[in-house]
Structure 1
Amino acid sequence: MNASIDWILWGILPYIVLTIFIGGHIYRYQKDQFGWSSKSSEFLEKKHLRIGSTLFHWGMLFVLGGHFLGILVPVTVYESFGVTEHQYHIIALAFGIPAGIAAVIGLALLCYRRLSVQRIKKTTSKGDWAVLFFLLIVVVSGLSATFLNVDSHGFDYRTTIAPWFRGLFIFRIEPHLMAEVPVWFKIHLLANYAFASIWPFTRMVHVFSFPIRYLSRSYVIYKKQVRKA
């Protein structure tokens, strides 16, 4: 029974979520290009947005960087550089915990802003609330998993979750690797499933709208108009 559940959760469901994620973006781009934006509310309130957004985005930037180094980079790479499991664990905690705390505080401020400023609350859609709700679960569950794994002899996700995740992209499905993963890590992964599933249908699509052409465009030249006497 457990093997069947593992196959569903860690062998089948990831591809369903990935299909929704990719297909949803294609559908959204084809049907709702004018709604493809972050729907900024800066003109309604700036103070809480500036603090909350800065903490959240910088915190998430470091969190995602840590995920990249821990999940996408194989253990053998670290071993080739002489980095032991204990050293990696200390480095991961030193950067991961502050980044996670910053992201949680920033997200909490953004939620408070949505609830306390009436003009913003009235313009907040159901999709916006869904984003905040699932983001909060994702970030809090991830930070909780980090705190519960502070022990230097704790669970090493680089030998279980990491190879399982990398295997999905080359169709090497190994759900058995997830069998002994602690429940708090599984909650974090399932929360990410849910968040990825609603992503294409919310304001989160703006993440893929970085104006790359701005890097190569010509400078805008402003000329001062001189009035004639």
Structure 2
Amino acid sequence: MNYLHTLLFGLYPYLAGSVFLIGSLMRFDHGQYTWKTGSSQMLSTKRMKLASPLFHVGILVIFFGHLVGLLTPHWVYEPFISAGNKQIVAIVVGGIAGVMCLVGGAMLLHRRLTNPRVRASSSTMDTLIIALLVVQVTLGLLTIPAAMQHLDGGVMVRLAQWAQAIVFFQGNAAAHLTGIGFIYHIHILIGLTIVLIFPFTRLVHAWSAPLGYLGRRYQIVRRRA
């Protein structure tokens, strides 16, 4: 059991991370024509104006929340906010963003499965990745009741220690997860699997986020007479 635990939470993260980085680079180098969002909005706009913003805003808040929350060492934020209060903030903000992402993602998945035109233009991987993201955000929301039972922030600190041990190559990372709830283990495993298959999905378009758009000059648009 200890060997399996180390394999899944000590070694699998490095496998997923390696495939994520190398696979993304190889796809950009050898398959640039497939480097796209594969948007199906032209085929059907029904509910897209609601579903797409909900999903994307929710998932961006969740992503950056996890990134900052897990990779920021405890001593950095300890003078300003306790681990318990940080956990409460994470529950509130993450809960709101999670519900947004779940509602939007479920609507997009339902559209992809039930709209004939969208389904015909979708690949198996398109459907799989949106389904995995919906499952993952559902599991994330299910961790909230478990987190409410220990508001001292102890489990959150251990999760952050695991993530930092992986990212900063500190060794024996899996030991930080020993004894925490099963729901957290499943949430982490599915998250790592999403990272693993990332280069083979439409999610690669996230690498091409148009950040320059935020600082560009205004465009002058003239209407036809």
Superposition TM-score, scaled by structure 1 size: 0.88
On the 8 A contact 1:39/1:203 being kept in 2, the answer is yes
Is this contact kept in 1: 2:38–2:202, CA < 8 A? yes
Report the counterpart of residue 84 of structure 1 in structure 2: 82
In structure 1, list runs of 5 or more residues that go unmatched.
none
Q: Structure 2: how far apart are the matches of 1:35 and 1:189?
A: 28
The amino acid that maps onto 1:95 is: V
Greater CA drift, 205-214 or 36-45: 205-214
Q: Which residue of 2 aligns with 1:144?
A: 142
Any residues of structure 2 matched to 1:37-52 within 5 Å, and which? Answer: 37-52=36-51
- Residues 218 and 52 of structure 1: CA distance in aligned 2, closer, same or farther (over 3 Å): closer
Task: Identify which range, 205-214 or 4-13, moves more after superposition.
Answer: 205-214
Aligned length: 224
Aligned to 1:193: 192
TM (norm. structure 2) is 0.89
Shift of 1:214: 4.6
Deviations 1:171-221 (Å, cap 9, x if unpaired)? 112221111121100100100111111110111100011234556667655
Residues 162 and 57 of structure 1: CA distance in aligned 2, closer, same or farther (over 3 Å): same
Gaps of 5+ in 2: none
Q: C-alpha offsets along residues 65-113 of structure 1, whole Å, 9 cap, x if unaligned?
A: 32134211222223211x2233223222221211111111110000111
C-alpha RMSD of the superposition: 2.2
1:162 corresponds to which of 160, 163, 167: 160
Name which one, 1 or 2, has greater alpha-carbon Rg: 1
Distance 1:158 1:74, change over 3 A: farther
User: CA separation in 1, counterparts of 2:58 and 2:168?
Assistant: 30
Q: What's the counterpart of residue 211 of structure 1? A: 210
- 2:13 aligns to what? 14
Q: Secondary structure in 1 aligned to 2:198?
A: helix
Structure 2 equivalent of residue 127 of structure 1:
125
The 3-state SS of whatever aligns with 1:80 is coil
